[in-house]
Amino acid sequence: MSRQKIQQRRHKHNILSLVTLLLLATASGCNQAPQETQTQQTQEASAPQSEQIRVVTTFLPMYWFTRAVVGDRAQVEILVPPGSEVHDYQATPADVQAIATADVLVKNGLGMEDFLDSTIQNAENPNLQQIDASSGIETVGEISPVESAGDHGHSHSHGDSDGGNPHVWLDPVLAKQQVENIRDGLVAADPANRDAYQANAAAYIQQLEQTHNQFQQSLQKYPNCTFITFHDAYPYLANRYQLQQVAVVEIPEDQPSPGDVQRAVNAVKKYDAQAIFSEPGVDNSLIQSLSQDLNLTVYSIDPLEAGSTDPQHYFTAMSENLQTIESACQ
């Protein structure tokens, strides 16, 4: 993409941004400020922002991976605020504006971002280039263990037509493939920065490989360790390191229902589970009571959908998850 073309698009985007903000202000009334997009932008040093492509990412892992690849060569934003429930996210007018003025959109795919299709359609950006970070990844099915653990008290779905589980970023090997997809998409969209994107991606991929090696060396001592979860987020992680996840529900809730707890009881008995995994931000009172009745410990594991926007936070959180799994499987 030439510098002149980028500047022309910036001029067009600035006009569109102004019009959109005026419309938002009119719609929200005199006493309300227009809702702003929750964005995080890179600190640019090597070139003026007017000459950089603008990249919009959907949620936190996609932001981390994209930021790691672009370094200081592009502007990067995030649509879903870290800590928000991605599965139930509702797009805002500001999200539409962000996509309307973007050059590139990076998504996880596999049905994770249910809000995205209509948002892209409303943005009416014919020049938008989309990067599907999960392209080419072989998926596993959704929530298959629950059929054995009890009846389906909840029918939530990620919305993926092929039934694949979208939580691939929790497997460092598949995260590496996502980074490679993002790198290749950015090189195609902005070939002038090819060398920087390739070098940045290589450095991050090296860290992902180190994380994989750490998981492999630590968890090979616990083959077939079985754990119960209240979020069907860890099948790729479990498969990679010969563990067994038994998911009680597909999508997490603020508080497990009595039906969820009963399914957990059935699953513990059937699969001889060694631990129960909950997540940050979940009311664990029922789970704690269940764990006492079953003489099991409840551990907290992180699905990496909240936290710092620093791309290095991926490795911090994954290291903590490794320690958690080791403690649970001993």
State whether 195 and 235 are in the same domain.
no
Beta bridge partners of 300: 278
State whether 138 and 18 are in the same domain.
yes
State whether 46 and 193 are in the same domain.
yes
In the chain, alpha helices (H): 3-28, 60-70, 93-100, 116-123, 146-149, 172-189, 194-219, 235-240, 258-271, 285-294, 313-329
Domain boundary at 185, 212, 239, which? Answer: 212
Average of per-residue pLDDT across 168-176: 98
pLDDT digits (tens, 9 = 90+) for 174-214: 999 999 999 999 999 999 999 999 999 999 999 999 999 99
State whether 103 and 156 are in the same domain.
yes
Residue entry with tokens 């390191």: 241
Helix (H, G, I), strand (E, B) or coil at 37: coil
Domain boundary at 160, 177, 212, which? Answer: 212
State whether 146 and 251 are in the same domain.
no
- CATH number of the domain that 69 lies in? 3.40.50.1980
Total tally of structural domains belonging to the chain:
2
State whether 27 and 159 are in the same domain.
yes
pLDDT digits (tens, 9 = 90+) for 91-119: 999 999 999 999 999 999 999 999 999 99
For 299: left if phi > 0, alpha if psi spans -120 to 50, otherwise beta; the answer is: beta
Rounded to whole angstroms, the Cα distance separating 55 from 42 reads 10
Q: How confident is the model at residue 47 (pLDDT cuts 50, 70, 90)?
A: low
State whether 35 and 177 are in the same domain.
yes
| Amino acid symbol at 322 | L
Rounded to whole angstroms, the Cα distance separating 96 from 17 reads 10
Rounded to whole angstroms, the Cα distance separating 63 from 107 reads 9
* C-alpha atoms less than 13 angstroms from C-alpha of 176 in its C-beta half-sphere: 13
State whether 162 and 247 are in the same domain.
no
State whether 287 and 208 are in the same domain.
no
State whether 188 and 317 are in the same domain.
no
CB 131 within 8 A of CB 185: yes
Question: Quick check: 254 pLDDT over 90?
Answer: no
Helix (H, G, I), strand (E, B) or coil at 220: coil
State whether 83 and 177 are in the same domain.
yes
Question: Quick check: 219 pLDDT over 70?
Answer: yes
Rounded to whole angstroms, the Cα distance separating 276 from 224 reads 15
pLDDT given at position 234: 96
> Whole domain around residue 324: which residue ranges?
219-329
Residue entry with tokens 């409303």: 122
State whether 158 and 283 are in the same domain.
no
CB 124 within 8 A of CB 225: no
Domain boundary at 212, 238, 270, which? Answer: 212
Helix (H, G, I), strand (E, B) or coil at 46: coil
Give the residue from 50, 35, 59, 45 showing the smallest Cα distance to 101: 50
Rounded to whole angstroms, the Cα distance separating 172 from 318 reads 9
Terminal alpha carbon distance of the chain: 54
